Amino acid sequence: MTADRERLRRDAERLRPEELRSHQWYGTEGQLRTWSHNARMRQLGYEAEEYRGRPVIAVLNTWSDINPCHVHLRERAEAVKRGVWQAGGFPLEFPVATLSETYQKPTPMLYRNLLAMETEELLRSYPIDAAVLLGGCDKSTPALLMGATSADVPSIFVPAGPMLPGHWRGETLGSGTDMWKYWDEHRAGNLTDCELRELQGGLARSPGHCMTMGTASTMTAAAESLGMTLPGASSIPAVDSAHERMAAASGRRAVELAWTGLKPSAILTRDAFEDAVTTVLGLGGSTNAVIHLIAMAGRAGVELGLDDFDRIARTVPVLANVRPGGRTYLMEDFHFAGGLPAFLSRITDLLHLDRPTVNGTLGEQLEGAVVHDDDVIRTRDNPVASEGGVAVLRGNLCPDGAVIKHISAEPHLLKHTGRAVVFDDYKSMQRTINEPELGITADSVLVLRNSGPKGGPGMPEYGMLPIPDHLLKQGVRDMVRISDARMSGTSYGACVLHVAPESYVGGPLALVRTGDSITLDVEARTLQLDVSDEELERRRKNWTPPPTRYERGYGALYNDQITQANTGCDFEFLARQGKVSAPYAG
Tell me whether residue 573 is in a domain: no
Residues 6+ apart with CB under 8 A from 164: 205, 206, 208, 211, 237, 238, 239, 332
**Does one domain contain both 356 and 435?**
no
Same domain, 149 and 19: yes
CA distance 166 to 163: 9
307: in domain: yes
Residue 187 domain boundaries: 167-202
| Per-residue pLDDT tens over the stretch 504-548 | 999 999 999 999 999 999 999 999 999 999 999 999 999 999 999
Same-domain status, 48 and 181: no
Strands (E), 298-353: none
CB-side exposure of 494: number of CA atoms within 13 Å? 27
pTM of the model: 0.96
Helices 270-282 and 215-226, packing angle to 10 deg: 140
Cα torsion 99, 400, 350, 282: sign = positive
Q: Could you tell me the CATH number of the domain that includes residue 469?
A: 3.50.30.80
**Using CA atoms in the order 248, 250, 255, 260, what is the torsion angle rounded to 10 degrees?**
160
Q: Which H, E and C letters describe 174-186, residue by residue?
A: CCCHHHHHHHHHH
Please indicate, yes or no, if residue 107 is contained in any of the structural domains.
Answer: yes
419 and 293, same structural domain?
A: no
Give CB contacts under 8 A, 24+ apart, made by 10-13.
10/260, 13/260
Do 266 and 346 have their domain in common? Answer: yes
Report strand pairing: 56-61 vs 90-95: parallel
pLDDT of residue 13: 82
Q: Are residues 457 and 356 in the same domain?
A: no
Which among 272, 50, 40, 8 has a CA at the least distance from the CA of 149? 272
Q: Looking at the 3D structure of the chain, how many domains does it have?
A: 3
Q: Is residue 556 part of a domain?
A: no
- In a domain? residue 223: yes
For 584, residues 6+ apart whose C-beta sits below 8 A from its C-beta are none
Residues 131 and 144 in one domain: yes
Please list, in sequence order, all residues whose beta carbon lies within 8 angstroms of the beta carbon of residue 235, skipping any fewer than 6 positions away: 161, 162, 217, 220, 221, 331, 334, 335, 339, 340
Q: What's the CA angle centered on 119, arms 115 and 124, to 5 degrees?
A: 150
| Residues with Cβ within 8 Å of residue 249, at least 6 apart in sequence | 83, 230
The answer on 485 and 359 residing in a single domain is: no
Tell me, rounded to whole angstroms, the distance of Cα 540 from its chain centroid: 35
Continuous segment of H or E residues that includes residue 356: strand 356-357
Q: What percent of the chain has pLDDT over 90?
A: 96
DSSP, residue by residue, 457-526:
TS--S--SPPPPHHHHHTT----EEEESS---TT--SSEEE--SS-GGGT-GGGG--TT-EEEEETTTTE
Strand 480-483 with 517-521, pairing: unpaired
Tell me if residue 13 falls in helix, strand or coil: helix
Of 213, 422, 217, 458, the residue nearest 328 (C-alpha): 213
Q: Are residues 338 and 439 in the same domain?
A: no
Q: Write the CB contacts of 71 (distance below 8 Å, at least 6 apart in sequence).
A: 63, 64, 65, 207
The string of pLDDT tens digits covering residues 421-451 is 999 999 999 999 999 999 999 999 999 999 9
pLDDT-above-70 percentage for the chain? 98
Give the pLDDT of residue 327: 81
Neighbours of 8 (CB within 10 A): 10
| Pairing relationship of beta strands 391-393 and 402-404 according to DSSP bridges | antiparallel
Residue 334 falls inside a structural domain: yes
The helix/strand/coil state of 402 is strand
Provide the H-helix boundaries in 15-139. 23-26, 32-43, 48-51, 73-86, 112-125
Q: What is the DSSP letter of 549?
A: S
The three-state secondary structure class of 172 is strand
Residue-wise pLDDT tens digits, 224-241: 999 999 999 999 999 999
Alpha helix ranges (H) inside 102-174: 112-125, 140-151
Percentages helix, strand, coil for the chain (3-state, rounded to 5) are 40, 15, 45
The C-alpha atoms of residue 281 and residue 318 are separated, in whole angstroms, by: 7
Residue 285 sits in the same domain as residue 416: no
Rg, Å, the chain Cα set: 25
- Do 160 and 175 fall within a single domain? no
Instruction: With CA atoms as reference, report the closest residue to 265 among 306, 227, 219, 234.
Output: 227
Residue 510: exposed, middle, or buried by beta-carbon count in 10 A (0-12, 13-18, 19+)?
buried
**Residue 1: its pLDDT value, please?**
40
Helix (H) or strand (E) holding 426: helix 426-432
- Residues 447, 511 within the same domain: yes
Q: In the prediction, which pLDDT does 4 show? A: 52
Q: What is the DSSP letter of 108?
A: G
Q: 478, 454 in Cβ contact below 8 A?
A: no
Distance CA 259, CA 335 (A): 31
The residue among 220, 238, 204 whose CA lies nearest residue 72 is 238
Pairwise CA distance, residues 285 & 224, whole Å = 14
Flag whether 345 is in a domain.
yes
Give the largest CA-CA distance in the chain: 83
End-of-domain residue from the set 175, 202, 229? 202
Q: pLDDT value at position 10?
A: 56
Per-residue pLDDT of the chain (586 residues; tens, 9 = 90+): 455 555 545 555 899 999 999 999 999 888 999 999 999 999 999 999 999 999 999 999 999 999 999 999 999 999 999 999 999 999 999 999 999 999 999 999 999 999 999 999 999 999 999 999 999 999 999 999 999 999 999 999 999 999 999 999 999 999 999 999 999 999 999 999 999 999 999 999 999 999 999 999 999 999 999 999 999 999 999 999 999 999 999 999 999 999 999 999 999 999 999 999 999 999 999 999 999 999 999 999 999 999 999 999 999 999 999 999 998 899 999 999 999 999 999 999 999 999 999 999 999 999 999 999 999 999 999 999 999 999 999 999 999 999 999 999 999 999 999 999 999 999 999 999 999 999 999 999 999 999 999 999 999 999 999 999 999 999 999 999 999 999 999 999 999 999 999 999 999 999 999 999 999 999 999 999 999 999 999 999 999 999 999 999 999 999 999 999 999 999 999 999 999 999 999 8
